[in-house]
Amino acid sequence: MASELKLQISVDVLELSELSTAECQAMELARQAANDAYAPYSNFLVGAALLLEDGSLFKGSNQENAAYPSGLCAERTALFALSANHPNKKISLLAVTARRRHEHEYLAAMPCGACRQVMAEYEYKQQEQIPVLLQGPEGKFYRFKTVSDLLPFQFTKENL
Ligand code: THU
């Protein structure tokens, strides 16, 4: 008889007014980062901000390329730049937002699978959960307690 695993993921769905000061600051920086996105092909501007354990903030945006697959998403741009510049700083929050060029409305920013995998790597590395705050639909925000909730059954160093 086959057994079954049931997963339960709880996501906080929040209004802007329900975000903490630190969450607001991170989301605001993600919005600023989106303004700097280099996205001449998709015109889809994505911004990511990392709040670090020491209270400082770090940002990244999507970087596209005429050779399309050579581009990189905002989340990975931020995470790789952080790890390259501050390899030992722990992340206490990752915030992501997106909008179309020439439009003011922020759009749901659901990280792609490759970005989730990279988030999982750094969560594993720091051995502390990384909460993820995403711009959700209709002006709401989705807050995940851990990257594991965005990427269950993940492949990590443990699997090698
Ligand atoms: N993009 C991101 O920056 N993050 C994601 O998680 C999904 C997609 C970017 C990649 C590309 O520059 C543009 O959005 C359209 O796919």
The CATH code of the domain at 23-151 is 3.40.140.10
CA 47 / ligand 1 centre spacing (Å): 9
What pLDDT score was predicted for residue 75?
98
Residue 157 CA from chain centroid, whole number = 21
What tens-digit pLDDT sequence spans the chain (160 residues)? Answer: 899 999 999 999 999 999 999 999 999 999 999 999 999 999 999 999 999 999 999 999 999 999 999 999 999 999 999 999 999 999 999 999 999 999 999 999 999 999 999 999 999 999 999 999 999 999 999 999 999 999 999 999 999 9
DSSP assignment of 50-117, as one string?
A: EEETTS-EEEEE-B--SSGGG-B-HHHHHHHHHHHH-TTPPEEEEEEEEEETT--S-B-----HHHHH
CA 79 / ligand 1 centre spacing (Å): 14
What pLDDT score was predicted for residue 88?
95
Task: Please tell me if the CB atom of residue 117 comes closer than 6 angstroms to any atom of ligand 1.
Answer: no
Task: Please tell me if the CB atom of residue 115 comes closer than 6 angstroms to any atom of ligand 1.
Answer: yes
What pLDDT score was predicted for residue 49?
98
Task: Please tell me if the CB atom of residue 91 comes closer than 6 angstroms to any atom of ligand 1.
Answer: no
For the CA of 41, the nearest atom of ligand 1: 12
What b/e string do you get for 65-75 counting C-beta neighbours within 10 Å, with b at 16 or more?
eeeeeebbbbb
pTM score over 0.95: yes
Task: Please tell me if the CB atom of residue 14 comes closer than 6 angstroms to any atom of ligand 1.
Answer: no
Task: Please tell me if the CB atom of residue 57 comes closer than 6 angstroms to any atom of ligand 1.
Answer: no
The identity of residue 109, as a single letter, is A
Residue 126 three-state SS: helix
What pLDDT score was predicted for residue 69?
98
CA 62 / ligand 1 centre spacing (Å): 6
> In which region does residue 139 sit, left (phi positive, over 0), alpha (psi from -120 to 50) or beta (all else)?
left
Q: Is 121 a catalytic residue?
A: no
Selecting among 4, 18, 23, 75, the annotated active-site residue is 75
Residue 10 three-state SS: coil
Q: Which of 105, 106, 93, 98 is nearest to 50 (CA)?
A: 93
Ordered by start, the domain boundaries in the chain are 23-151
Q: Which of 143, 151, 128 is nearest to 13 (CA)?
A: 143
CA 159 / ligand 1 centre spacing (Å): 28
Token pair, residue 43, equals 């015109």
